A and B are shown apart, each in its own frame.
Chain A
Amino acid sequence: MSAPESAAFVTVRDLKKTFDVSKPWLERMIERAPKQFLKAVDGVTFDIKKGETFALVGESGSGKSTVARMVVGLLPVTGGEVMVDGVSMTTTVDSAQREKLRRRIQMIFQDPYASLNPRWRVQDIIAEPIRAFNLLSSQKDIADRVGELLTLVGLSPLDGVKFPHQFSGGQRQRVAIARALASNAEFIVCDEPTSALDVSVQAQILNLMRDLQDKMGLTYLFISHNLAVVRHMASSIGVMYLGRLTEVSQAKEMFRAPRHPYTRMLLDAVPDLGMSGRARVPVQGEIPSPINPPSGCTFHPRCPLVMDRCRAEAPLPINGVACHAVEEGRMGAMTARKSA
């Protein structure tokens, strides 16, 4: 019996997305080629508690951005379910309910140069959700609210009349954050929000996001490929590889004692600013094409702990880790990380 406060705010169950990447019909007929499918997301399950940040980490082809877009409703799901505050995003047919839900979920995108309409003034960009959801009606109220939001993200209300190109990348991301907050959203999906920004600007934006979370009780799903950034933002982390979750843990635990070999590999690959001279586990190979993934555990061609079972059977997540070696207790074979 779980107390209501610890019930998950966002629930993702067995989320799947398959893209049809077959060649055009005519070519297929001529070449007698079969249809080709890309399993971008293959059964992803996780929970996010209210007011917390869950990070989804992975390299290219891992499917993390696809998961983000499905959670937010921009991409239709091929299978599985997404529930926010008890209401299903994926199966709810009642459009009034979906509308209500839509207002509470927003997204911040990666590219600050493409996420704001270059021909709109900033005040209109931020006011758009307010107008779309009919949150305020009088022009003056809307203008005041836009000014409030701009101040909240560290800009000046006078900046509203400007166009996006008059701002720097970091400032544009602030505008994007203001827009996400304009609908009074409670759950914000952030798709690599700082990857395109300089380091010092990234620090400003990450700090801002944390401050807003503390102030307003926001829940974040934070997508990133940068483990160090995730360290500063997330309370729980899920690591994705080729469409599947390899490990889900509390952040502190994951950094202290990573379990899955891929997680360990990722951590080792993060360049060491502290130059503690830690020993490195040899990193092998590159990410295979998602159209023809390896059999069994998709990580097996690169895994230092690979055995026959790994080639044949895809591991199921046990205690948040999907790895045969972990299940069988073979972890010691990898070189231990010197703790930082």
Chain B
Amino acid sequence: MTQPVLSVRNLKVEFVTRRGTLRAIDDVSFDIAPGEVLGVVGESGAGKSLTGTAIIGLIDPPGRIAGGEILLQGKRIDNLDKESLRRIRGKRIGMIFQDPLTSLNPLFKISEQLVETIQTHSDMDAGQARQRAIDLLTEVGIPAPEKRIDGYPHEFSGGMRQRVVIALALAAEPELIIADEPTTALDVSVQAQIITLLKKLCRERGTAVMLVTHDMGVIAETADRVAVMYAGRIAEIGPVREVVQHARHPYAKGLMGAIPTLKATASRLVQIPGSMPRLTAIPRGCAFNPRCSEVFARCHVERPDTIKVGKSQVACWLYDTKKEAAA
């Protein structure tokens, strides 16, 4: 069993506010194997972006990591000092954020930003770094890279900028890339291009990817495994085909049913009543119990363990076989 590139164990993230301590991420665990794409899916407030931010150590106060471990290639990174974390960011973990407008510094040329990143994480001189930058731009599909590399971010279109951001993320040959909604701000036709590109490049390099998004379609096309988050917890995690087509957790099932597709379907979309609870009012037991159509007594009292069902893991008492066996 190869060692996972990223291992998150029982992660807890809290926000200390005047109103009390809010737990935004509550005991989240998952692994990402080398070359694997793990999709982290959830709606607003589920905590998926926060998980990514926690891993790279960029949580600002009043938020903080309150428990659990984050291991990169088997070594803990959550307890490192700022300087060591800074070195890991960029070199071993690359990041792609949602808005290419703010990921690139508008005052600097693309060449400067790329070369700076490359030189920070390697021993190349300026000339070699520039050549490497041009090679990277070619790989991400920027036409005439030798000319365009000296342009400023505003001279590129949205899709092109996101390609540059991908190039920047890959520049130091990281082992893991965390992509937070990389295609949400792009047009539909460009989204497909970017997703295909990201997948191809990561497969070639064996880079693991944590793809955070609310867009299930993107996950279906790109991810190998997917984790569905709800109210700071993982509801279900498993191979993408299983979770998308045969979701087990009632929330995941509802979510898949709510997504409109191009197939000719029934006239009504599946809808889950209510909305995700606010952090100040997370229900006791299973966080989903007020909205669940299959709720029963235990759900109100005990938070479900993660139970293995098929190749997935589901946090739902419906699948608790031990109790059934005992009964």
Contacts and interface: CB of A to CB of B under 8 A. Distances in A.
The answer to whether any beta carbons of A and B sit under 8 Å apart in the complex is: yes
Interface of A: 59-60, 168-171, 198-204, 206-207, 210, 225-229, 231-232, 252, 255, 265-275, 280, 283, 286-287, 340
B167 to A, nearest CB: 17
Contacts of B157: 286-287
A201 B188 contact: no
B235 to A, nearest CB: 13
Contacts of B217: 228, 270-273
Interface of A is mostly: helix
Contacts of A227: 188, 262
B158 interface: yes
B265 interface: yes
Contact of A198 (B44, B218, B256): B44
B284 interface: no
A74 to B, nearest CB: 24
Interface of B: 43-44, 157-160, 187-193, 195, 214-218, 220-221, 241, 244-245, 254-265, 267-273, 275-276
A59 B187 contact: yes
A198 to B, nearest CB: 4
Contacts of A231: 260-262, 265
14 contacts: A203-B257, A203-B258, A203-B259, A204-B272, A227-B188, A227-B262, A228-B261, A271-B217, A273-B217, A273-B259, A273-B261, A275-B245, A286-B158, A340-B262
A264 to B, nearest CB: 11
A60 B187 contact: yes
Contacts of A200: 43, 254-255, 258, 271-272, 275
Nearest to B195: A271
A170 B264 CA distance: 25
Contacts of B43: 198-201
Given A199-B216, A275-B220, A168 B275 contact: yes
B267 A210 contact: yes
Nearest to A287: B187
Contacts of B271: 200, 203-204, 207
A283 B193 contact: yes
Given A199-B214, A199-B255, A273-B217, A286 B272 contact: no
Given A269-B188, A286-B160, A287-B187, A255 B258 contact: no
B262 A232 contact: no
Q: Which 3 A-B pairs have the closest CB atoms?
A: A271-B217, A203-B258, A198-B43
Given A283-B193, A287-B187, A274 B254 contact: no
Given A170-B275, A200-B272, A274-B261, A286 B220 contact: no
B144 to A, nearest CB: 14
Contacts of B192: 268-269, 271, 280, 283
A206 B269 contact: yes
Nearest to B222: A271
Q: Which of A200, A232, A252, A255 has the most CB of B within 10 A?
A: A200
Nearest to A280: B192
Contact of B263 (A204, A210, A340): A340
Contacts of B262: 227-228, 231, 255, 267, 270, 340
Contact of A59 (B188, B193, B259): B188
A198 B269 CA distance: 14
Nearest to B46: A198
Nearest to A201: B275
B263 A203 contact: no
A17 B22 CA distance: 50
Contacts of A271: 191-192, 195, 215, 217-218, 220-221
